[in-house]
Amino acid sequence: MGRRYRTDKENARKEKKRIKAIVKSAFDHFGKNALYEEQFIKYFKGQGMSKGEVDKLWVKANNLGIIRIGAKPIFRDEDPLDILGHVVVFRLLGKGDE
């Protein structure tokens, strides 16, 4: 029973490493540690993934603590209290960011 647990833990670690490498490729492509949702989706669709696959990828990356998802308000400089909308931002987490 102990060996199976170790194998499951090793598989989970390998899966996280694999997902992190895939997600990191998008951030490396743009040279940033934060991307808009549209940039993230466009990059992976360009790599041949469907929208559904990309959605599953960012959900899994968020659940594994690889990225953090947030929202950034859109406003005019002359009236910052008048929020026009928002954009979803994905931030790549490094060691100690979790």
∠ CA 61-94-30, nearest 5°, is 75
The count of domains in the chain is 1
**Structural domain harbouring 19:** 2-92
pLDDT of residue 4: 62
- For the beta carbon of residue 58, count every other beta carbon within 10 angstroms: 21
pLDDT of residue 79: 87
Identity of residue 64 = L
DSSP state of 7: H
- Whether 98 maps to a domain, the answer reads no
pLDDT of residue 88: 95
- Whether 97 maps to a domain, the answer reads no
∠ CA 59-19-54, nearest 5°, is 45
pLDDT in tens for each of the 98 residues of the chain?
455 667 888 988 999 999 999 999 999 999 999 999 999 999 999 999 999 999 999 999 999 999 999 999 998 888 888 888 999 999 999 855 65
